[in-house]
């Protein structure tokens, strides 16, 4: 009897139009838990190194965790794992909602897709059965329309749908996969990989159960964890009260709120996009499966040119990267932009960052109205701003270049624009400026999918906590330790917004599976998983120089706020990076050593 | 007689009610087999709410059942489905104005809240106090 997991993997060979079912590799599950770790293991074994991310040979994996679909709090997310077309690295991108749980109710822990369909198709999964169906009538449709049409065709409103929009079809490198309308596997372009395979959507419906060894004991444990930790810990208070917009003020006060394409860390109109502003347009809160916190804010814009826009969000990263970073303070415009990105199927974070980058190019005269299709693309110009998602998703005018992300766009545009393309490995920076929270420079540099804030949110302990945000001391340790913890969280999968520690992860994982998993074993597992994704990237050719620091962050001091005058000096950054490699047991190029791999049972 | 009230404005759609309900009814986690069902009308409207039997006084489901499969628990005074008698005809589903009874997807037999014979687990677990007893 398999507990926690449901014990099966669905495979689809899109080239041959065939599906098959096999048992989940339980030896791997014991070593890598699920989610990130287990998906990375399958990818490591099955991805041919150095292939193009859009090659039919690329592998697209949807993986759940052993707690999804149970009463374990905040465990609904599933992960999409593939080689990223945006960065060329390992990619893991998480989405909440209900889709992952439904996949387990349908009898599958994972779906592994390969090949390329001759015609657009969608994969329909229904209680251990799977079928590839024609998606000719869906191609070109946005994600909300696709979800509606698939439910209609299958005649079941309880079907859960993950789909791509026009952007994914057009291979925009930061296309996302949208499920349950407003939940996205956002970063890194998993949606474009789907598009390259002519796969428009995955629909899933399940009526089977997930078993645990002792269900009464398990439910009691979950209720205790919810009451005594999730709803009680001060670390989760902000999630329950406001959701992610709570962080806007914290970042602004710390002087690290990206503003005007990272030219400042302070936004003068912050009160127009903060949690109080969101409260004014809030309709209701929304949760993922099994989450008692409900971070989602469903908002409805009441007046102005964008009246009637309803969206789940905007969340912190969207408010920042598509808000302050573009000097946009009109919440209605940000909500509209968010909704457009969701429906067209592009990541709001990267879309915001590339828009800000293009605005700076325009203001500096590097691009002109000839490039922008006649748009006056200045910072803060709402009218031009809301046209960008459509231009990017359909690769119109400058959108054609921006669809490749800031790294490749800057390489083509040139004229010094590389100096203000703020990214690591081609993934644009998230919403925390390291010049006022230095550990984030290391976290972005060593993140396995390019600049990501969710591999080590060390800003919490640093700029928002007690640690000095300007010194390198102890930061390598902080980042490495947090990465290991998050690697376990992302494998079990527990949502990043629940500040769970090793003790409760050990209790929930053990109770769900019947295995006895100690905290020490989890710590080792986290390190093992982090080394595995590093191995995948090393195999793709990534070395020390790719763990980089953007020029703007190292050369241009912040002009105002708490971090005024600060940069992250290249020498300080290299010092942290060296300490980090040493701590990790990696060589000078950042590659895991044989001894380390042996210690982690990775050879 | 105790009743269930649903304060729909408070629901966030976490579906913990479904999870604990299925745990009791079928012994595993299986939302489709729960007697409570959360529905949403997004993106058209921002409505999210659970549907379940509120144990109304009129109980049209009882009156509609041609085989008297919805029977009173003499101890609690509340009605539950005798699944041995149910013939899957669906008359109760048609009769109930609250969407409080439905046919389970697997065996197609009627499924309805029986108040957990005293202490409803959904009421206990609901983090936003959407489902309450009155």
Q: Are A441 and A371 contained in the same domain?
A: no
Query: From the first residue on, what is the mean pLDDT of each consecutive set of 10 residues in chain B (134 residues)?
Result: 93 98 96 96 94 95 97 90 96 97 92 91 98 96
Instruction: Please identify every stretch of chain A with a pLDDT value under 70, giving residue numbers as ranges.
Output: none
Residue A340 maps to a domain: yes
- Which chain B residues are Cβ-neighbours of A219 within 8 angstroms? 20, 23, 121
Residue with tokens 């926690």: A4
What φ, ψ does residue A67 adopt, rounded to 5°?
A: -105, -10
- For residue B117, the model assigns a pLDDT of 80
Does A129 touch chain B if contact means CB atoms closer than 8 Å? Answer: no
Q: Are A459 and A333 contained in the same domain?
A: no
To the nearest whole Å, the CA of A146 is away from the closest chain B CA by 13
Q: Are A36 and A171 contained in the same domain?
A: yes
| pLDDT tens string A457-499 | 999 999 999 999 999 999 999 999 999 999 999 999 999 999 9
For A209, name the nearest residue in chain B, comparing CA atoms only: B30
CATH number of the domain enclosing A572: 1.10.599.10
- For residue A218, the model assigns a pLDDT of 98
- For residue A129, the model assigns a pLDDT of 96
**Domain residue limits at A261:** 242-421
Question: Which positions 395-434 of A are in contact with B (Cβ < 8 Å)?
Answer: none
- For residue A467, the model assigns a pLDDT of 98
Whether A468 and A446 have beta carbons less than 8 Å apart is answered as: no
- For residue B2, the model assigns a pLDDT of 86
Residue A236 maps to a domain: no
- Do residue B26 and residue A209 have CB atoms under 8 angstroms apart? yes
To the nearest whole Å, the CA of A171 is away from the closest chain B CA by 26
Whether A66 and A509 have beta carbons less than 8 Å apart is answered as: yes
Q: Are A292 and A145 contained in the same domain?
A: no
Taking the C-alpha atoms of residue A241 and residue A249, their distance in angstroms, rounded to an integer, is 14
- For residue A93, the model assigns a pLDDT of 98
What residues in chain B have their Cβ under 8 A from chain A's Cβ atoms? Answer: 9, 12-16, 19-20, 22-23, 26-33, 39, 42-43, 46, 48, 105-106, 121, 124-125, 127-128
Residue A237 maps to a domain: no
- Do residue B125 and residue A206 have CB atoms under 8 angstroms apart? no
Interface test with A, best of B29, B36, B106 (most A CBs within 10 A): B29
Q: Are A393 and A440 contained in the same domain?
A: no
Exposed/middle/buried for residue B118 (C-beta within 10 Å: 0-12, 13-18, 19+): exposed
Residue A229 maps to a domain: no
Q: Are A414 and A445 contained in the same domain?
A: no
- Do residue A284 and residue B12 have CB atoms under 8 angstroms apart? yes
pTM of the model: 0.98
Q: Select from A157, A185, A205 the last residue of a domain.
A: A205
> A29 is written with which tokens?
């599950």
What φ, ψ does residue A86 adopt, rounded to 5°?
A: -85, -40
Asked if CATH classification 3.30.70.20 holds for the domain at B4-129, the reply, yes or no, is yes
Q: Are A13 and A72 contained in the same domain?
A: yes
Interface test with B, best of A183, A212, A292 (most B CBs within 10 A): A292
- Do residue A105 and residue B31 have CB atoms under 8 angstroms apart? yes
| pLDDT tens string A293-302 | 999 999 999 9
Q: Are A412 and A454 contained in the same domain?
A: no
- Which chain A residues are Cβ-neighbours of B128 within 8 angstroms? 292, 294
Does A212 touch chain B if contact means CB atoms closer than 8 Å? Answer: yes
What φ, ψ does residue A82 adopt, rounded to 5°?
A: -165, 180
| pLDDT tens string A538-581 | 999 999 999 999 999 999 999 999 999 999 999 999 999 999 99
ipTM of the complex: 0.96
Whether A66 and A492 have beta carbons less than 8 Å apart is answered as: yes
Residue A214 maps to a domain: no
- For residue B106, the model assigns a pLDDT of 84
Q: Are A479 and A571 contained in the same domain?
A: yes
- For residue B1, the model assigns a pLDDT of 77
CATH number of the domain enclosing A284: 1.10.569.10
| pLDDT tens string B67-106 | 999 999 988 888 999 999 999 999 999 999 999 999 998 8
User: How big is chain B by its Cα radius of gyration, in Å?
Assistant: 14
Taking the C-alpha atoms of residue A472 and residue A575, their distance in angstroms, rounded to an integer, is 8
- Among left, alpha and beta (phi > 0; psi -120 to 50; other), residue A436 is alpha
- Do residue A300 and residue B46 have CB atoms under 8 angstroms apart? yes
Whether A322 and A159 have beta carbons less than 8 Å apart is answered as: no
Taking the C-alpha atoms of residue A508 and residue A222, their distance in angstroms, rounded to an integer, is 8
- Which chain A residues are Cβ-neighbours of B121 within 8 angstroms? 219
Residue A216 maps to a domain: no
Does A287 touch chain B if contact means CB atoms closer than 8 Å? Answer: yes
Q: Are A438 and A416 contained in the same domain?
A: no
Percent of chain A having pLDDT more than 70?
A: 100
To the nearest whole Å, the CA of B90 is away from the closest chain A CA by 18
Q: Are A138 and A269 contained in the same domain?
A: no
Q: Are A402 and A479 contained in the same domain?
A: no
């Amino acid at each position: 009897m398999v507990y926690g997991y449901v014990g099966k993997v669905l495979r689809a060979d899109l080239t041959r139009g065939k599906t098959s079912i096999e048992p989940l590799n339980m030896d791997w599950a014991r070593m890598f838990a699920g989610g990130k770790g287990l998906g990375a293991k399958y990818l490591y074994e099955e991805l041919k190194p150095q292939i193009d991310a859009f090659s039919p040979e690329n592998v697209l994996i949807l993986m759940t965790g052993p707690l999804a679909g149970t009463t374990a709090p905040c465990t609904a997310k599933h992960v999409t794992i593939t080689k990223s077309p945006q960065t060329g690295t390992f990619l893991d991108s998480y989405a909440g909602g209900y889709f992952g749980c439904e996949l387990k109710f349908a009898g599958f822990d994972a779906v592994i897709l390969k090949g390329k369909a001759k015609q657009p198709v969608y994969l329909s999964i229904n209680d251990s059965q799977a079928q590839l169906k024609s998606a000719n009538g869906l191609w070109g449709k946005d994600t909300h329309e696709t979800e509606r049409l698939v439910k209609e065709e299958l005649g079941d409103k309880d079907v859960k749908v993950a789909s791509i929009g026009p952007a994914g079809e057009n291979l925009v490198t930061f296309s996302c996969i949208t499920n349950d309308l407003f939940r996205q596997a956002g970063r890194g372009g998993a949606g474009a990989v789907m598009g390259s395979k002519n796969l428009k959507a995955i629909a899933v419906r399940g009526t089977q159960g997930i078993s645990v060894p002792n269900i009464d004991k398990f439910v009691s444990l979950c209720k205790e964890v919810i009451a005594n930790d999730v709803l009680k810990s001060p670390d989760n208070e902000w999630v329950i009260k406001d959701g992610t917009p709570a962080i806007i003020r914290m970042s602004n006060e710390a002087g690290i709120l990206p503003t005007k394409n990272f030219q400042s860390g302070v936004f003068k109109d912050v009160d127009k996009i903060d949690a109080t502003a969101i409260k004014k347009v809030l309709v209701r809160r929304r949760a993922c499966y099994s989450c008692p916190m409900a971070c989602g804010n469903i908002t409805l814009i009441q007046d102005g040119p964008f009246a009637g826009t309803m969206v789940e969000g905007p969340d912190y990263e969207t408010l920042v990267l598509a808000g302050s970073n573009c000097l946009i303070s009109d919440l209605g415009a940000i909500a509209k932009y968010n909704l457009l990105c969701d429906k067209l199927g592009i990541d709001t974070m990267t879309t915001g960052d590339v828009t800000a980058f293009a605005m700076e190019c325009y203001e500096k005269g590097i691009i002109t109205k000839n490039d922008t299709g006649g748009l006056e693309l200045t910072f803060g110009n709402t009218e031009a701003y809301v046209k960008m998602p459509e231009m990017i998703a359909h690769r119109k005018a400058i959108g054609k270049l921006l669809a490749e992300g800031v790294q490749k766009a800057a390489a083509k545009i040139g004229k010094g624009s590389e100096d203000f393309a703020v990214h690591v490995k081609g993934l644009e920076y998230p919403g925390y400026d390291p010049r006022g929270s230095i550990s984030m420079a290391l976290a972005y540099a060593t993140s396995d999918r390019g600049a990501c804030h969710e591999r080590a949110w060390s800003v919490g302990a640093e700029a928002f906590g007690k640690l000095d945000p300007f010194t390198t001391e102890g930061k390598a340790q902080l980042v490495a330790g947090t990465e290991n913890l998050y690697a376990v969280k992302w494998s079990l999968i527990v949502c990043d917004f629940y500040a769970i520690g090793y003790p409760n992860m050990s209790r929930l994982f053990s109770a769900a599976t019947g295995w006895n998993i100690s905290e020490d074993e989890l710590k080792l597992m986290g390190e093992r998983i982090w080394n595995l994704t590093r191995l995948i990237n090393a195999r793709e050719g990534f070395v020390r120089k790719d763990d980089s620091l953007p020029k703007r962050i190292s050369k241009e001091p912040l002009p105002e706020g708490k971090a005024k005058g600060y940069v992250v000096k290249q020498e300080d950054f290299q010092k942290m990076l060296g300490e980090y490699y040493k701590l990790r047991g990696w060589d000078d190029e950042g590659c895991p050593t044989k001894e380390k791999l042996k210690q982690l049972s990775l050879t | 007689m105790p009743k269930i009230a649903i304060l729909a404005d408070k629901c966030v759609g976490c579906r913990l009610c479904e999870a604990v309900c299925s745990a009791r009814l079928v012994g595993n986690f299986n939302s489709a087999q729960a007697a409570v069902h959360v529905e949403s009308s997004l993106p058209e409207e921002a409505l999210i709410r659970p549907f379940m039997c509120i144990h109304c006084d009129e109980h049209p489901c009882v009156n509609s059942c041609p085989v008297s499969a919805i029977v009173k628990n003499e101890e609690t005074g509340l009605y539950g489905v005798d699944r041995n008698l149910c013939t899957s005809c669906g008359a109760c589903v048609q009769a109930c104005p609250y969407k409080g009874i439905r046919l389970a997807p697997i065996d197609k037999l009627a499924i309805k809240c029986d108040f957990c014979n005293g202490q409803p687990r959904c009421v206990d677990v609901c983090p936003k106090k959407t489902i309450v007893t009155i």
